[in-house]
Amino acid sequence: MSSAYGFTEDSARRIARVVKSVEGDTTEPTRIGPMLGGSTMSVVKVTALGSPLNTGQRVDYHASANTMNDINEVKIKEVSGAALTVGQRYMGQFSGYTSAGLPVFVVKAGAASGGSATIEVVTDVICTPTGIEVSTVTLSGADYDNAVIRQFLALSDVIPSSYAGQQHRFVKVNAAATGLEFALNASTLESDLATIKNNIISLQYAVTNLQTAVTSLQGSLIATNNSISTIQGNITTLQTGYTDLLARVVALEGA
């Protein structure tokens, strides 16, 4: 004997809600997976490279808190088999679980810049009676790399354009509000001053040693001058004796 059951529309909706909530919370992997973010899309961060799948962490974005939170370990698979970069974040599509119960996200690695990559840039938008006309220009990856400033010191309003001697300093807007400059770091100023004082003390010590050496040299020069004077006196005495002796020889020869 067969039986038939009938439900009102409200009853059917209540049953559907209950079944859905139970299905979404039956196992631990389900809670690790899409239930956490409420979506099958997540940002995944590669923390290590493995085989056949890369490993990493899932990062869920919560709009209510406007934060991103690292949640649990996941497996990451690139859709076309391209290499992924450790430390890089990718947008992933939840695709199931491994045999160990870890969620798997399929990601698409971004196209590399430079080389043969091309970028189409909109240069003008014109409204006409027949519609909207858009003007574009195609740039190569090399054009993009040359046009984009990738280093802070390459900015034209950063003075000085060198990191030399700027260790532990902050970047601040200059007094004229026309650019950026390096400023002293209050948290390291005391340490910097102590280093400068030690350098001054070392310099003073070196100057004292030099003065002592100069004094010693002056004493040596005075002693040398005295010796020279003595030698000169001896030479004068010898010359006098030689003159006297020569006169006697001449006198003897005349006799």
pLDDT tens-digit series, residues 145-161: 666 666 777 777 788 87
pLDDT tens-digit series, residues 121-149: 677 777 777 777 777 777 666 666 666 66
- The closest alpha carbon to 75, from 21, 33, 135, belongs to 33
Average pLDDT of 97-113?
77
pLDDT at 16: 60
pLDDT at 27: 41
Average pLDDT score, the chain: 75
- Residue 158 has, within 13 A of its CA and on its CB side, a CA count of 13
pLDDT tens-digit series, residues 160-183: 878 887 877 888 888 888 888 888
pLDDT at 25: 40
pLDDT at 89: 86
- 89 in Cβ contact with 45 (< 8 Å): yes
* 75 or 2: which leads in pLDDT: 75
What is the Cα gyration radius of the chain? 45
Class of domain 9-107: mainly beta
Residue type, 240: T
Average pLDDT of 19-28?
44
pLDDT at 95: 82
pLDDT at 111: 54
Neighbours of 58 (CB within 10 A): 26
